[in-house]
Amino acid sequence: MHYSVYVGVAFAALFGVAGPFLARRLAPAVAAWLLSVGALIAAASGLASVGLLAMTIVGQNSSLAAAGHWSSSTLRRADPVHLPVAITALALFAFGIGRCAWVLVQRWRAIRAAHRMNRALSDTGTDLVVLGDEAPDAYAVPGRPGRIFVTKGMLALLSRDECRVMLAHERSHLRHRHHLHRTAVTVATALNPLLAPLPRAQSWVTERWADEDAARICDRALVASALSRAANAARPAPRPAAALSMSGGAVDSRVAAMATEPPRLGWVMLGIALTLLVLSVLGTLDGVTDEAHLFHVALLGHAHLGHLRRVFRAGR
Amino acid sequence: MTAHPRRGPGELEADVLATLWRSHEPMSPGQVRDALDAGLAYTTVMTILSRLHEKGSVTRQRAGRAFVYTPAFAQAELAASQMRALLDRGDDRDEILARFVGSLSKRDERTLASLLRRPARPRRS
């Protein structure tokens, strides 16, 4: 096995490190899609690479080799992967799958609870639910339909126009299903721990996306003032785990972003990110070819051994 | 800020409801329209308010010739649904109910008793 399999892992890791940096320089909607789809690709590619390394040791199991008609001894001799590396890869593979299953169950439960909460409320003629608390708080709860929960305290705190900004922001979370974008990145990180910087970046990017959507109905200065006022005063109470909130995540940098022009797409950054992903996938695919070759040799070895045995028996 | 061309369903309703909540007094449709400042027709505001009233999101009283509107909590419904969910999740409904009733104040007990004596109402499933 050559180095291509490590190349796949390396570029997946590079996407994890560079992802947040690149995402901050893209239009938020593009960045969110890049992070969620890119994280899943990088995770799949990383997992496949680790799986390929693990296969070399799993394939040496004699009963498995007999069932697959390849030669475990030829595989052992031809295998360029060191034993500790292969064992580590096997452990990482199992750990990744296990952690991913756990995270999936957690997220599924959280989203199901949010849906159930929305279903329990009857049709009130609007997507706004006002809670009686005096402590300012506002959040969006995904569901069919999703709803925006706002406390009396928050409504009293914001001006009329800031209030509309807040509603537009939370509505953007619901309309574009930001909870699913965040789930995608969380699941990818569970599969591949090298992507650990991505979930925080995705939270920030989805908040920015909602900010930009709010800025479509009014001027950017108003969004900035609504943001800083809501975030400074917010006293978050217990809420559903799948809820998204305007006061969540790096408010200062979001207020600063509102002071500048709306972001442009950012072709260069997108190009860099996509290149990393393509290289990661290519590395992994090349690794698959190497591995196929390795097992092909082992299959030939098995056939060759069988031939020798037959010749030996005939000669006797 | 003036009229906005695109609004999704329920969005105008949310703005009207938020306006009512921000006010400390009941509002007439005309007052709501002025407070919204969104270039809406009086009849539009009127329609939204009566829809919200139908759905139980606002209450109204007669003031002279017109109605004035006050926002109502959806929270009572939310709390009730959470209590139902707890009951459904518990293994022993009778035990949960017994403990719940045991923890009520005299006033709550009287309310509960009078609610139960009422003829059966249509129930949402």
Write the DSSP string, A128-175.
Answer: EEEE--SS--EEEE-STT-EEEEEHHHHHHS-HHHHHHHHHHHHHHHH
| Residues of chain B neighbouring A226 (CB-CB closer than 8 A) | none
Nearest-by-Cβ selection for A126 from B10, B22, B35: B10
Of A61 and B63, the one with more pLDDT? B63
ipTM of the complex: 0.71
Determine the pLDDT at residue A33: 95
Interface contact B55-A123, CB threshold 8 A: yes
Cis omega (within 30 of 0) for bond into A145: yes
Q: Mutate which of B15, B24, B60 to test chain A, going by most A C-beta atoms within 10 A?
A: B15
Determine the pLDDT at residue A1: 53
Interface contact A120-B57, CB threshold 8 A: no
Interface contact B14-A218, CB threshold 8 A: no
Nearest-Cα distance to chain B for A115, in Å, is 13
Please give the residue of chain A at the shortest CA–CA distance from B35. Answer: A160
Residue A150 touches chain B, beta carbons under 8 Å? yes
pLDDT band for A70, please (50, 70, 90 cuts).
Answer: confident
Interface contact A148-B55, CB threshold 8 A: no
Averaged pLDDT of chain A: 85
Of A194 and A237, the one with more pLDDT? A194
The residue ranges of chain B whose pLDDT is under 50 are 1-5, 123-125
Cα torsion angle, A134, A138, A141, A147, sign:
positive
| Residues of chain A neighbouring B85 (CB-CB closer than 8 A) | 116, 120
| Residues of chain B neighbouring A171 (CB-CB closer than 8 A) | 8, 11
Interface contact A155-B18, CB threshold 8 A: yes
List, for residues A131-173, the tens digit of each pLDDT value: 877 888 888 999 888 889 888 888 888 888 889 899 999 999 9
Of A132 and A52, the one with more pLDDT? A52
- Report the number of distinct structural domains present in chain A: 1
Q: Helix and strand tally (H, E) in chain A?
A: 12, 3
CA distance A242 to A85: 38
Determine the pLDDT at residue B21: 87
Nearest-by-Cβ selection for B73 from A122, A130, A148: A130
Interface contact A125-B57, CB threshold 8 A: yes
Domain region containing A156: 4-315
Q: Are strands B58-63 and B66-71 parallel, antiparallel or unpaired?
A: antiparallel
Mean pLDDT lowest for which of A26-30, A233-237, A300-304, B34-38?
A: A233-237
Longest dimension (CA), chain B: 57
Q: Are A166 and A138 in contact (CB under 8 A)?
A: yes
Phi first, then psi, for residue A182 (nearest 5°) are -70, -40
Of A309 and A39, the one with more pLDDT? A39
Q: Could you tell me which residues of chain B have a Cβ less than 8 Å from any Cβ in chain A?
A: 1, 4, 8, 10-11, 13-19, 21-22, 35, 37, 51-52, 54-57, 71, 73-75, 77-78, 81-82, 84-85, 124
Determine the pLDDT at residue A289: 83
Residue with tokens 């305290």: A153
Residue A238 touches chain B, beta carbons under 8 Å? no
Angle between helices A220-233 and A160-175 (to 10 degrees): 90
Q: Which class for A104: exposed (0-12), middle (13-18), buried (19 or more C-beta within 10 A)?
A: middle
pLDDT band for A316, please (50, 70, 90 cuts).
Answer: low
pTM of the model: 0.79
Tokens matching residue A93 = 């593979």
Nearest-by-Cβ selection for A126 from B52, B75, B84: B52
Of B16 and A237, the one with more pLDDT? B16
Instruction: Please give the C-alpha separations between residue B37 and each of A158, B1, B2, B19, B60, in angstroms, as whole numbers.
Output: 16, 8, 7, 11, 22
List, for residues A78-127, the tens digit of each pLDDT value: 777 778 888 888 999 999 999 999 999 999 988 988 888 888 777 777 88
Determine the pLDDT at residue B125: 39
Sequence-separated (6 or more) residues with CB below 8 Å from residue A179? A111, A114, A142, A173, A242, A244
Tokens matching residue A43 = 């995770």
* A46 has a pLDDT exceeding 50: yes
Interface contact B73-A155, CB threshold 8 A: no
Nearest-by-Cβ selection for A126 from B1, B17, B78: B17
Determine the pLDDT at residue B3: 43
* A209 has a pLDDT exceeding 90: yes
Interface contact A128-B78, CB threshold 8 A: no
Please give the residue of chain B at the shortest CA–CA distance from A155. Answer: B22
